[in-house]
Each structure stands twice: as C-alpha cells, then as structure tokens.
Chain A
Amino acid sequence: MRLNKLLLLLVPFALLSQEKEKINVFVGFESNSQWYLNDTGLKDEFNLPTSQPENPLRSNSYLFVNFKYKNWTAGIQGEAYEKNALLNLNPKFIGTDVATYFIQYKTEKIDVTAGYFYEQFGSGLLFRSWEDRALGINNALRGGRLIYKPTKFLTFKSIYGQQRTGFDVANSTIYGLDTEITISDLFKFDTTTLSMGLTYVGRDEKTDIENPKFNSLTSAYAGRLSVAHNSFYLSTEFDYKSEDAVVQVTEQIDNNLIKPGSALLLNLGYSKKGFGIDGTFRRLENMGFFSERGAKGNSFNDRIMNFIPSLTKQNHYNLANIYVYQAQPNVILADKDLVKAGEIGGQIDLFYDFKKGTALGGKNGMKLAFNFSNWNALSGTFYIYNPQDYKTDFLGFGKRYFTDYNLELTKKWNSKWQTILSYSNQYYNKKMIQETSGEVTANIVAAEATYKFNATKSIRVVGEHLWADQDKKNWAGGTVEMNLNSKLSFFVSDLYNYGNDTDFLRNHYYNVGGAFRKKATRIALNYGRQRGGLVCVGGVCRFVPESSGLALSLNTSF
C-alpha cells in the first residue's frame, strides 16, 4: 500500500520539524460518520420502510498535511472511506489511501507545482478543478503547473495533467494556458480598473469508436474582460468549445451528432454606500465538458472539467431548497416536447440599507435583499429522428425552466432582538429540468427571530411554510437553536410534508443535534431523518436518498 511508503517519507520531515521556525507543519482533519438505521415510519413512494444499507456504519475521513520550508511547500491528503463511503457518494471512493500530494516552489514571479493541484480559469466555464467534500467532488489535476508573473500587471499560467477520479486518474490528458493582463496597472489608471484574459483548454481522449467523426483533441477558447469605474462595473466572458460528439445519456457517445459548444456571460452592476444592484445574463449551449466524453451526465459529478453553477439565489431556508434549479448546459433530443440544447436567462440582485432614523429604518436600520432569476431553454429547430440535429437561435427563449422571486428583510430591533422575514415564489418545470413530468409553483414564507439573553447565550427560532398545489404539495417546518455559550449549541428541527396526497408519504423529517467547538475544533452530533433529494453546494448538486440515523462529524486543525 502506498501509505507505508508515505509514512517512511514523512519521518525526515517530522524530524526536521523539531527545528522550530524552520519547517512549518500544518494539519487539517475532517471526519463525517453516519450510522444508518432502519426506520419503519419513513416510507418511500412504494410504501416500503427505510432500511439500513449493507455496512450501516460508514464514514468519510480526510487528513491533510502541509509542510512549508522557505519557498517550498509540500502537501499530502489521505482519505478513508470505511466501511464504505456515505450513501450515494461516488462508488470509486473506497478504502483508505493517499488521495493527493504536491510539491510547490513559489517566489514573487514564479510558482511551480508538481503533483495534484487545483486551478480555475476565468469564471470556470471552461476549466475548474476543486474540492467539495460534501458533494464528493475532487477533480484536481495530477501533473504540473507553472505560474509566471513577469510584472505586476501580467500573469501567465500553464497546466498539464490527468484528472483525479476516485483514487485514480481519468483516461485523458488536459492542457491549459491562461493569460491575464491588468491594463489599468499597465497605464496607471486612477479611478478605473480594466483587465482582460485569454484561455485555452485542450482535452485529449482517445476513442474506441471506429471511424470517429470527431477529433481525439477537443479544444476550448475563452476571452474575458472586466471593467470598473467609480460605482459601475461590468464583466463579460465568451467561451467556445470545438466540435465534439454529443453525449445525451451517460456512456453513449453519439458519432452522428457532432456539435460545438459555447457560452456567453455578462455581468453589470452599480454599487454605492447603502445600495447595490447587480444583473447577470448567461447563455449556454452544449457546454458539458468532462475529462472522459462518456462521463457526461453521471450523477456523482465525476470527471467534471468545468464549473457551471446555476445562477439563482442560494437559499438558506430548508423549504426554499426543495425545488432547486440546476444549470442546463446539455443537449437532450428526447421527444418534441422535451428538447434541450442549453439555457438562456439571468438574475438580478438588489441590496438596500434603510438608514437608522428613517421611517422604515427605525432606530437600528433595516436591510433588504431582493433577487429575481429566470431561466429558459434555447429556442431553435430540433430534429429528433434520424439523423438527429439542432440549430439554435442566438437570443431566442424556448420553454421556461425556472423562475424565482425572493425578498428578505433583516431588522435589528435592539441589542437583544433581531428578526428576518423571507418570501419566495418559485416556478419549477419538473419535466424540463428533471426529464420527468409536471410543473410546480411554490410559495415559501420563512420567519426567524434571534433573542440574546446575555453576551453569549442566545436562542434562534425559525418557522417556515411552503405552499404548492402540485407535486408533494404543502410543507411546514421549524427549527429551534439554542446557543448556551460560545462553545455549546443545540438544535431541534422538523420538516413535515402534511399536504401530501398519499397518506403514507406525509413524513416528518425531524432532527436533533448539538455542536461543541473550541478554537479550531468543532464536533457535532445529529440524530434524525434526511429528506431524499438534491444536496447542493455552490449550484452543483448531488442526489441523496432518504435515510435515518445518527451522524457524528469532527473537524480540527493544528
């Protein structure tokens, strides 16, 4: 096992670190364990109770160690999935092993890394490698990276490598180049910042398909521009991905539908003290990009090369997270009512501070946040039968996927009381987004109050309700969180789908738990039920099944 060799390698480092100040060692540890239980009260759509999986005691643990010596940094991450990973995580995460390692040399001008590294070019629509443990994403590249900053206003990056998948790497090679120039630094502008960037990303994957009508190398190009002047700012990016075989269903590479992809992103905003407004427009066409073609659409976000977040409000109330939009970059030509080649739409955010002493602001002021987002399919001409093909309109709106209006008011009444009132109206086209059937309109109201007993003891109470006249219909929810002191907190919460048409699906999803934290350490224990559905972080989602059980999580660093 690689871990043995690694232990030997670490000994000299460990001994060297005795010489204080010279070698800096940093350690981070995270462990999430779950003991899945049988739960006869929690039924699925077939009226079957929730039963524990094979190996009901499971955990995901991560140990990250970083050594720093002068301009050198070396790091290693071990991961353990024992016995098995948490439910519905990528099945390639199995056992205990070294997951990533790197060595880096960095000066003011040069930064060289060998081993596994994380990188993002521009908005990430062409390339992003990152880690999100909650979603089971770690698509670091294994290879080399060179960053060169000849002057303050110029940065060149070049990358080369293979992408991590499970404890292995994908069967392809990825190349990338990125340049960023800060023009305002070059010409020493005072009140304006202006920068632009250019990106190239190539993925070379051999194919088994005979007489392929596509190249093994898929090339992607992007240009971006960002301007800010006083209170105004604007940024834009255009991405183009060369012709490649379309994959509509995972592992089915279509040698007869060869299409390019593109993306356009435009963001405009104005902000001054007490007020900010921001609008984003985005159009995506066939922009799914994976280190192996066939991986497109896999449910674990495995081998994903780019980052295509849904641009909607990231809600923090439980019931506002039932109908979550997922970005739609892919091509589906299923039937005449279900054709997709991408998405077009945007969102607007507005933040306003009602000043202290004004009619609405009162004695302590009041803060308002508003968000609107709307996303449609691309319109165009779609050919569903042999041969399949499509031609999209550049600025045409097809069927609507999703609309969301959100308003949130935060008011601090005095040093003891604070309240938040939130309202959302969501339209969710289940047929178009999930490729099932139905459309849902939901209204969600959430109200919360925090009361401070003294400097560190406080209570937070949240009430939520969701009205929907389709799908699972009405829900009610509540949370009570008690912070006893700066170290210890407890909570109890419930989501109740009381409006469900099917009586055995009127489930309670209750949870009780507590957390203890001291300095860099946090330990949390939780008992309860997990609602089946999407768990989303940063607009990327993972499906989790319904489950019931006891969870322990711990994280620390030293």
Chain B
Amino acid sequence: MKKFLLLFLIVGLHSYSQKNLPDLNLSTLEGKNISLKNDFAEKDKLYIFSFWASWCAPCINELDEMNEIQAEWKKTINFEVIAVATDDTRTQKRVKPLVSGKEWEYTILLDTNQDFKRALSIVNIPYTIVVKNNKIVHIQNGYVPGNELDLFEKLKTL
C-alpha cells in the first residue's frame, strides 16, 4: 500500500499541465464515425462533453436543463454540447428513442465499451468536461440541480 501511495505521489508531482482530449474514434447515433481529435477542433470554441446513460436520472435532468437554456446562452458564447452515452448494449437501443422523445438538440456519441469514459478515469456519471483547443479546461464531477447555471457562467471565463 505504501508503494502504491509513492507511485501516486511521483506521478502526481509531474502532472499539473492541462490534459489533451484522448485520441479516440466513436460512433454517433446516426452511425457516423467521429474522431475526438479532429472533429471537435474549431479554434477557441468550447465543447461540453456530458457523460450520461439512459438509466441515469440526474444525467437526464442535467441534459434536459441544458437543452432548455442552451439556445439563449449560445447568443453570447461559442459552444456546443455533446452528450456521450455510456450505455452498454443492454440499454444502448433505448438511447435513440429517448433522445427523440426528449427533443434534445445535441450531438450524441455512443461510448458502448466505455473507452472514452475509461480514458478519463470517470467513476460516476453524470460527469462533464469542457474542452477548448483540444485541451480539457474544466471538469464537473456529478450534478445537482442548478449546476448547469454554474457551468454556463464558468464558460465565460474559459
């Protein structure tokens, strides 16, 4: 256990720089292959990746709330929300009808074997990251009602 902590320290001391978005390919809900590195690369645009699943109630609340207010905020900030469905094949077929039923205006990515989630060591969802110029500039671990306003306020400073 001590060595475990030592390892933790060594690495910890050398990792304060901002993180790149992992270089992965994921499929959209429409079956299109997307590269995280190349397809979210507009200069200075903010990309909000929100990790969710069809069975996760707080995730759905967060995406519902953001869906209501994003049009208003887009008038002043250049950003896009990408909803990353971490559903495995048990529930993945429910994603499409759910997204249609809720009329979400997001790009939906399917992270079926959770490669994206694992690359960021995400333990619990909801989990939201903000990416600018391919760098992760903000992380929000979890969601409580009202966090969407905090997040959009934060965007102004990034």
Q: Which residues of A contact B (CB under 8 A)?
A: 1, 3-4, 6-7, 10-11, 14-15, 17-18, 20-21, 24-30, 61, 63-66, 68, 73, 78, 80, 82, 96, 106, 118-120, 123-124, 128, 130-131, 133, 152, 182, 184, 193, 195, 226, 228, 233, 235, 267, 269, 271-278, 280, 307, 309-311, 314-316, 349-353, 367-369, 418, 420, 450, 452, 454-458, 483, 486, 489, 515, 517, 519-522, 538-539, 555, 557-558
Given A27-B11, A456-B147, also A369-B101 (CB < 8 A)? yes
Given contacts A30-B123, A458-B145, A555-B141, contact A276 B6 (CB under 8 A): no
Contact A7 B6 (CB under 8 A): yes
Indicate if the CB atoms of B144 and A276 lie closer than 8 Å.
no
How long is the Cα–Cα vector from A384 to B15 in the complex, in angstroms? 62
Do B11 and A25 touch (CB < 8 A)? Answer: yes
B140 on interface, CB distance cutoff 8 Å: yes
Residues from chain A with a CB closer than 8 A to the CB of B23 are 68, 73, 106
B133 to chain A, nearest CB (A): 12
The answer on a CB contact under 8 Å between A558 and B12 is yes
10 more contacts with CB within 8 A, not counting A14-B13, A233-B96, A558-B12, are A4-B3, A106-B23, A119-B113, A123-B89, A193-B30, A275-B101, A452-B145, A489-B144, A538-B90, A555-B123
A128 to B114, CA, bound (A): 11
> How far is it, in angstroms, between the C-alpha of A82 and the C-alpha of B5 when the chains are bound?
13
- Interface status of B39 (Cβ within 8 A of chain A): no
B150 to chain A, nearest CB (A): 5
Question: With A27-B11, A65-B11 known to touch, is A96 a contact of B145 (CB < 8 Å)?
Answer: no
Identify the closest chain B residue to A452 (Cβ). B145
* A307 B89 Cβ-Cβ under 8 A: yes
Query: Per-residue 0/1 for B65-104: is the Cβ within 8 Å of any A Cβ (1 yes, 0 no)?
Result: 0000000000000000000000011110110111111110
The 4 tightest CB contacts between A and B, nearest first, are A28-B121, A276-B97, A351-B101, A309-B90
CA distance A456 to B150 in the complex (A): 8
- Residues of A with C-beta under 8 A to B55: 314-316
| Closest A residue, CB atoms, query B89 | A123
Q: Which residues of A contact B6 (CB under 8 A)?
A: 7
Chain B residues near A (Cβ < 8 Å)? 1, 3-4, 6-8, 10-17, 19-20, 22-23, 30-33, 54-57, 61, 88-91, 93-94, 96-103, 112-115, 118-124, 138-142, 144-147, 149-150
Q: With A6-B7, A66-B119 known to touch, is A276 a contact of B96 (CB < 8 Å)?
A: yes
Whether A64 touches B121, Cβ cut-off 8 Å, given contacts A1-B3, A271-B97, A483-B144, is yes
Given contacts A276-B98, A455-B149, A486-B144, contact A10 B88 (CB under 8 A): no
Complex Cα distance, B59 from A281, in Å, reads: 28
Which residues of the other chain, B, contact A351 by a CB distance below 8 angstroms?
A: 97-98, 100-102
Please indicate the chain B residues that have their CB under 8 angstroms from the CB of A515 in the complex: 142
The answer to whether B10 and A10 have CB atoms under 8 Å apart is yes
Q: Are B31 and A228 in contact (CB under 8 A)?
A: yes
24 inter-chain pairs at a CB distance below 8 angstroms, sorted by A residue, are A3-B7, A7-B3, A7-B10, A10-B11, A14-B13, A21-B17, A27-B11, A27-B121, A29-B8, A130-B114, A276-B96, A278-B94, A309-B90, A310-B90, A351-B100, A369-B101, A486-B146, A486-B147, A486-B150, A515-B142, A519-B140, A522-B124, A555-B123, A557-B120
- Interfacial chain B residues near A18, Cβ < 8 Å: 14
Which residue of A has the minimal Cβ distance to B20? A24
Contact: A124 with B89, CB < 8 Å? yes
Chain A residues within an 8 Å CB radius of B115: 118
Which residues of A sit under 8 angstroms from B103, Cβ to Cβ? Answer: 273-274, 353
Closest to A353 in B: B101
- A-B pair count, CB < 8 Å, reads 223
In angstroms, Cα B123 to Cα A188, docked, is 39
Bound-complex Cα distance A495 to B132 (A): 45
Which of the residues A96, A486, A489 comes within 8 Å of B3, measured between beta carbons? A96
The majority secondary structure among interface residues of chain A is strand
Inside 8 A of A278's CB, which chain B residues have their CB? 93-94, 96-97
Chain B residues closer than 8 Å to A133, beta-carbon distance: 123
- The CA-CA distance from A73 to B113 in the complex, in Å, is 19
B41, chain A: closest CB distance, angstroms:
14
* A269 pairs with B31, CB closer than 8 A: no
List the A side residues contacting B114 at CB < 8 Å.
118, 130-131
Residue of A nearest to B33 (CB): A152
A311 touches B90 (CB 8 A): yes
Contact of A25 among B15, B30, B57 (CB under 8 A): B15
Interchain CB contact under 8 A, A82 and B97: no
Given contacts A96-B4, A555-B141, contact A457 B146 (CB under 8 A): yes
User: Which chain A residues lie closer than 8 Å to B100 at the CB level?
Assistant: 271-276, 351
List, in ascending order, chain A residues with CB within 8 A of B145's CB: 450, 452, 456, 458, 483
Residues of chain B within 8 A (CB-CB) of A274 are 100-101, 103
Q: How far is the CB of A68 from chain B (nearest CB, A)?
A: 7
The distance from the CB of B1 to the nearest CB of chain A, in whole angstroms, is 5
Distance from B63 Cβ to chain A, minimum over Cβ atoms (Å): 12
User: Nearest Cβ distance between residue A468 and chain B, in whole angstroms?
Assistant: 23
Q: Check if A539 sits within 8 Å of B90, measured CB to CB.
A: yes
| CA gap between A26 and B21 in the complex, in Å | 10
Which B residue's beta carbon lies closest to that of A521? B141
Known: A520-B139, A557-B121. A14 touches B89 (CB 8 A): no
Choose among B1, B16, B20, B149 the residue that contacts A80 (Cβ–Cβ < 8 A).
B1
Residues of A within 8 A of B146 (CB): 452, 454-458, 483, 486
A455 to B93, CA, bound (A): 34
Bound Cα distance A186, B138 (Å)? 39
Q: What's the nearest-Cβ distance from chain A to residue B52, in Å?
A: 13
